[in-house]
Copies of this chain bind each other. A is one copy, B any other.
C-alpha cells in the first residue's frame, strides 16, 4: 500500500525544507527557477496532491458546503440538489448532504455535526416538523458562529438569512386563472392535511384567483388528503358528492390519482374535468393523459442558492445586519399538456 506523498516526503527526498517545497509548488517566485522546477517535476512524477484536511485546518476553509434536505427520494429536492451540486462543483466546492427525513431532531443533529468545522456554509430546506415547531435556534447558533445559511423552498419569515423560493401563491393563482380562462367554473383544490408554508401559499393563490374572478370560494371543493393518499375512500366520496370541472393539486401524485378516479367515474379529461398539478416531475410527463403542471425549476433554484451561499462565504458581511439578506424568487411556469 503506497502511502500518499506529503510535502515532508518531497522535502526529505530533495533535501530542501518543507516550506521551500510548499512555496515551489505554488510557483512562488520567492523560490529559484531551477529548484522550483526540480520540486515541481518531482511532485508531478510522484503524483503529489495536497491533503484537503490539512489545508482546511490551516485555512479555516473547507470548501465544502452542507446541504440538508427533508427527503432525497423526492424529485423536486433532487432537482434542487443537482443545481447546487453543479454550481458548487464548478467553483471548486464539494457538497455534503444530510437528510432530515422531515424530522426536527435530525435536522438539528445534522446541522450541529456539520457546523463543527466540516463545512463553510449551509443550504437548507426546512423539515416539516421544524416548520410546525417554529424553532429555529439551531440556525441561529450556526449563523452566530459566522456560518452563512441559505434557505430554499421550505423557508420561514421568522429567521433572517438569504432565501430562494418560488412564489407559490402567484403560481397557484396563475394556474387557476388559466383554468378559468378555459371556461372552468367549479375548480376543486386537492391539498394535504396539514398545510404549512408552501402548501398554504398555494391555497392562498387558489383563493385569490377565484376572488379576482368573482367566483365564490366553496370549501366543499377543497379535498384534504393524508400524505400518501392511500385512503382512497376519501377521494372516491369526494368524486361522488361534488361536482367540479377542474382540479388544482398541490402535488403530482394527488393529481394523477385524481385523473385515474375521474376515468373510473367516466369523466373525459380535459373536456369534463381538467387537471393541473404542482411540481413538474416524471409523473406529469408520462401520465396518460399527460398532466399540465407547474414547473418549479428546481435546478435553477439550487444554482441560485449555491451562488448566494458562496458569495456570503467568500465575502465579508455583517450577519447581524438584515439588509445584507435577500430573498430571490424563481419564476414558476405552467407546462401545458393534455390534461387541460
Q: Could you mark each residue 64-95 of chain A with 1 if its beta carbon is under 8 Å from any beta carbon of chain B, else 0?
A: 10000000110100110110011001000011
Answer yes or no: A56 CB below 8 A from chain B CBs: yes
Within 133-164 of A, Cβ neighbours of B (below 8 Å) are at 141, 144-146
Tell me how many chains of this kind the complex includes: 2
| Interface pair A113/B97, CB less than 8 Å apart | no
Answer yes or no: A96 CB below 8 A from chain B CBs: yes
Known A-B contacts A1-B146, A51-B117, A286-B287; A85 and B97 likewise in contact (beta carbons under 8 Å): yes
Q: How far is the CB of A222 from chain B (nearest CB, A)?
A: 22
**Among the listed stretches A168-176, A207-215, A257-265, which one makes contact with chain B, having 4 or more residues with CB under 8 Å of it?**
A257-265
- Which has the most chain B C-beta neighbours within 10 Å: A2, A57, A319? A57
On chain A, the number of residues with a Cβ less than 8 Å from chain B's Cβ atoms is 55
State A78–B62 Cα separation when bound (angstroms). Answer: 26
* Chain B residues whose C-beta falls within 8 Å of the C-beta of A216 in the assembled complex: none
State A75–B112 Cα separation when bound (angstroms). Answer: 29
Answer yes or no: A220 CB below 8 A from chain B CBs: no
State A72–B95 Cα separation when bound (angstroms). Answer: 13
Q: Could you mark each residue 221-261 of chain A with 1 if its beta carbon is under 8 Å from any beta carbon of chain B, else 0?
A: 00000000000000000000000000000000100110110
- Which has the most chain B C-beta neighbours within 10 Å: A49, A117, A286, A287? A286
| Interface pair B72/A75, CB less than 8 Å apart | no
Q: How far is the CB of A87 from chain B (nearest CB, A)?
A: 12
Answer yes or no: A14 CB below 8 A from chain B CBs: no
Q: How far is the CB of A39 from chain B (nearest CB, A)?
A: 19
Closest residue to A145 on the B side, CB-wise?
Answer: B4
| Interface pair B98/A1, CB less than 8 Å apart | no
Closest residue to A74 on the B side, CB-wise?
Answer: B78
* Chain B residues whose C-beta falls within 8 Å of the C-beta of A108 in the assembled complex: none
Partner of A50, one of B52, B116, B283: B116
24 pairs across A/B with beta carbons < 8 Å? A1-B144, A1-B319, A2-B144, A4-B116, A4-B117, A4-B145, A51-B116, A52-B118, A53-B53, A53-B56, A57-B57, A64-B118, A72-B81, A72-B82, A72-B85, A73-B78, A73-B79, A78-B78, A94-B98, A94-B113, A95-B98, A96-B97, A97-B97, A253-B286
Residues of chain A having any CB pair with chain B under 8 Å = 1-4, 47, 49-54, 56-57, 62, 64, 72-73, 75, 78-79, 81-82, 85-86, 89, 94-99, 112-118, 141, 144-146, 253, 256-257, 259-260, 263, 281-283, 286-288, 319
